[in-house]
């Protein structure tokens, strides 16, 4: 099944939806319309979709905010625009669906902020990770200080922004900006393979991992451990847990809801 708009292609193959950002000639730079299309998908994913892959076209993932379409805003308008980005990035991270990024070329600025809101990241050779906002006289506004800062650390992120430093695929792997470094043309095939594997998990388990782990990381040790116990209690008393144990004892693959 394919649902295509001019700037976002949505292809559904069984339980996996692939969203392809499609702004050729713009290195898939983010505009308000593209952000709105992504928001619309995650706000009401098609029934039966269990995993999402996000990628780009023409050799790039996303080069960030389209500065050629910059709209002059006052302080309040800029704040509200930033807060809308935060809302959409939260929608990606916490919709309940695991999201995989298949990355190549530019993963810059807002593109890196979006990738950091996804749960599994795969990068091909030639991928460039960069936060160039300081070179443009501006500051990040799509969640980088929280998400990227927690991946690479505040100190390293500060240096990255001050200098406009670019990290390549292997450096990104070492820093945690990507989880997999693959060969040319291999990001999307691996994303599809991992998506099929993740789709076979119990949906409740996937949901718990997405919703709980990053939040527990924000909590005190005691609060985090208690929340972990609550998640364990909910998941381990579910029908899927019964099926998982039964399948293990019967030496077969589980068939989750």
pTM: 0.94
Yes or no: say if 124 and 180 are a contact pair by the CB < 8 Å rule. no
Asked whether residue 163 falls in the same domain as residue 218, the answer is no
The answer to whether residue 242 is catalytic is no
Yes or no: say if 170 and 176 are a contact pair by the CB < 8 Å rule. no
Instruction: Look at residues 96, 126, 117, 104 and name the one whose alpha carbon lies nearest to residue 198.
Output: 96
Asked whether residue 222 falls in the same domain as residue 153, the answer is no
CATH of the domain at 214: 1.10.12.10
Q: What's the confidence (pLDDT) of residue 1?
A: 61
Asked whether residue 211 falls in the same domain as residue 191, the answer is no
Taking only the tens place, the pLDDT of each residue in 60-109 is 999 998 877 777 789 999 999 999 999 999 999 999 999 999 999 999 99
| Catalytic position from the list 33, 113, 170, 250 | 113
Asked whether residue 127 falls in the same domain as residue 171, the answer is yes
The answer to whether residue 133 is catalytic is yes
Q: How far, in whole angstroms, is CA 156 from its chain's centroid? A: 21
Residue that has been written with the tokens 């924000």 in this structure: 218
Please give the residue that has the higher pLDDT: either 34 or 245. Answer: 34
| Catalytic position from the list 11, 69, 76, 133 | 133
Containing structural domain, residue 216:
203-249
% of the chain residues with pLDDT over 70: 98
Taking only the tens place, the pLDDT of each residue in 134-174 is 898 999 999 999 999 999 999 999 999 999 999 999 999 99
């Amino acid at each position: 099944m394919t649902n295509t708009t001019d700037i976002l292609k949505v292809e559904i193959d069984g339980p996996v939806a692939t969203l392809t950002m499609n702004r050729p000639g713009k290195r898939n730079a983010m505009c308000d319309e593209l952000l709105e299309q992504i928001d619309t998908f995650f706000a009401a994913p098609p029934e039966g979709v269990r995993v999402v892959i996000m990628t780009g076209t023409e050799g790039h993932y996303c080069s960030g905010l389209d500065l050629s379409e910059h709209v002059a805003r006052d302080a309040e308008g800029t704040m509200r625009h930033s807060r809308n980005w935060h809302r959409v990035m939260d929608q990606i991270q916490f919709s309940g669906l695991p999201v995989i990024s298949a990355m190549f070329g530019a993963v810059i600025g807002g593109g890196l902020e979006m990738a950091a809101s996804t749960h599994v990241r795969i990068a091909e050779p030639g991928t460039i990770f960069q936060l160039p906002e300081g070179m443009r006289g501006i500051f990040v506004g799509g969640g980088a200080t929280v998400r990227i800062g927690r991946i690479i650390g505040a100190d390293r992120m500060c240096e990255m922004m001050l200098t406009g430093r670019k990290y390549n695929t292997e450096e990104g792997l070492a820093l945690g900006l990507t989880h997999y470094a693959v060969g040319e043309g291999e990001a999307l095939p691996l994303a599809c393979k991992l998506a099929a594997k993740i789709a076979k998990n119990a949906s409740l388990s996937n949901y718990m991992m997405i919703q709980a782990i990053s939040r527990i990381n924000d909590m005190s040790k005691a609060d985090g451990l208690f929340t972990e116990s609550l998640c364990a209690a909910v998941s381990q008393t579910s029908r899927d847990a019964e099926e998982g144990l039964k399948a293990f004892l019967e030496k077969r693959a589980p068939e989750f809801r």
